[in-house]
């Protein structure tokens, strides 16, 4: 899953404010091996300011409409807002990626059921920090799955995401990856979104001060490439079925090699 951020304040430094740039970037990711393009209009970094539905629509819909006409790969909309998801599906999106796992907007499940599209449900601890992270994640995802099924989403259209970041401590992020195979008890495909996340910078001692002293053309996320590759490979070995990444060309190769070793594909 290749990431397109049409938010100027993206945490990973790859935010795109121009529709043309977003279209070109999506086509590049598809050519580099992305099987799905995930388009989001609101930054999910912890200190970001939420944007209005109208602003999110303004950022996302023109890109979605254009890509639906020009790309053959499936498109996902990264949103927790009902109207944004509805308009994105009407514009050509094939999937909903909900970072709040139906906590903020339960009606997203009804929409996914009505439209017959998959929905990715993430476990998000920003409103409920906890100590026993794996128990919390599994319990939260069981709740989200039950909600989705009750709303009419077919079992085969549900994807789960443990939510690397999103209210977890840096140590808890490592713990989730170390025990990712425990999510297989849920019986659903596992989506892993560890790409360029801050815990990689934490482990590798890439502090903001170190990053700001680097040459100007190097974005902060680029310094987390090797760490992202490690989390991707180990994540696949631990049961991840999908990975959401910014650096598609490199990570597609990591996925292919990891699959060959783990699954013989």
Q: In what order do the strands lie in the sheet with 119-122?
A: 2-5, 37-40, 75-78, 95-98, 119-122, 158-161
**What is the gyration radius of the CA atoms in the chain, in angstroms?**
17
Number of domains in the chain: 1
Cα(231)–Cα(240) distance, integer angstroms: 10
pLDDT at residue 17 tops 50: yes
For residue 24, report the phi and psi dihedrals to the nearest 5 degrees: -65, -40
Give the C-alpha distances (Å, rounded to integers) separating 128 from 25, 48, 132: 35, 18, 12
Closest CA to 79 of 243, 248, 61, 156: 61
Q: Both tokens of residue 37?
A: 């393009």
| Catalytic-residue membership of 263 | no
- List, for residues 41-64, the tens digit of each pLDDT value: 998 777 678 899 999 999 999 999
Catalytic residue among 59, 168, 238, 244: 244
Which residue range is the domain that position 90 belongs to?
2-262
The sign of the dihedral angle between the CA atoms of 245, 220, 22, 27 is negative
- List, for residues 204-249, the tens digit of each pLDDT value: 998 654 443 333 334 455 789 999 999 999 999 999 999 999 999 9
The pLDDT, as a whole number, for residue 51 is 92
Catalytic residue among 25, 197, 224, 238: 197
H helical segments located in the chain: 19-31, 53-70, 82-91, 107-115, 133-150, 170-178, 198-203, 208-212, 225-237, 248-262
The pLDDT, as a whole number, for residue 221 is 58
Cα(91)–Cα(88) distance, integer angstroms: 5
- For the segment 19-26, the average pLDDT, to the nearest whole number, is 91
- What does the mean pLDDT of the chain come to? 91
CATH of the domain at 18: 3.20.20.20
> DSSP characters for 59-72?
HHHHHHHHHHHH--
| Catalytic-residue membership of 87 | no
- List, for residues 70-83, the tens digit of each pLDDT value: 999 999 999 999 99
């Amino acid at each position: 899953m290749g990431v397109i951020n049409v938010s100027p304040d993206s945490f990973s430094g790859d935010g795109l404010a121009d529709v043309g740039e977003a279209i070109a970037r999506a086509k590049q990711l598809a050519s580099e091996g992305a099987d799905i393009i995930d388009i989001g209009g609101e930054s999910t970094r912890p200190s970001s300011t939420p944007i209005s539905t109208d602003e999110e629509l303004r950022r996302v819909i023109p890109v979605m409409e254009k890509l639906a006409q020009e790309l053959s790969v499936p498109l996902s909309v990264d949103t927790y807002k009902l109207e944004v998801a509805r308009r994105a599906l009407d514009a050509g999106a094939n999937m909903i990626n909900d970072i709040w796992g139906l906590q903020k907007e339960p009606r997203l499940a009804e929409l996914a059921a009505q439209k017959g599209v998959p929905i990715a449900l993430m476990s998000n601890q920003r409103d409920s920090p906890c100590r026993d992270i794996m128990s919390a994640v599994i319990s939260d995802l069981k709740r989200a799955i039950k909600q989705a099924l009750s709303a009419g989403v077919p079992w085969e259209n549900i994807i789960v995401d443990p939510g690397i970041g999103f209210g977890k401590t840096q140590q808890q992020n490592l713990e989730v990856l170390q025990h990712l195979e425990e999510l297989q008890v849920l019986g659903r495909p596992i989506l892993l979104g560890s790409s360029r996340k801050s815990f990689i910078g934490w482990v590798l001692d890439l502090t903001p001060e170190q990053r700001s002293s680097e040459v100007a053309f190097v974005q902060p996320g680029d310094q987390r490439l090797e760490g992202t590759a490690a989390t991707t490979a180990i994540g696949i070995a631990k049961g991840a079925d999908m990975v959401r990444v910014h650096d598609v060309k490199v990570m597609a190769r990591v996925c292919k090699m990891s699959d060959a070793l783990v699954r013989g594909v």
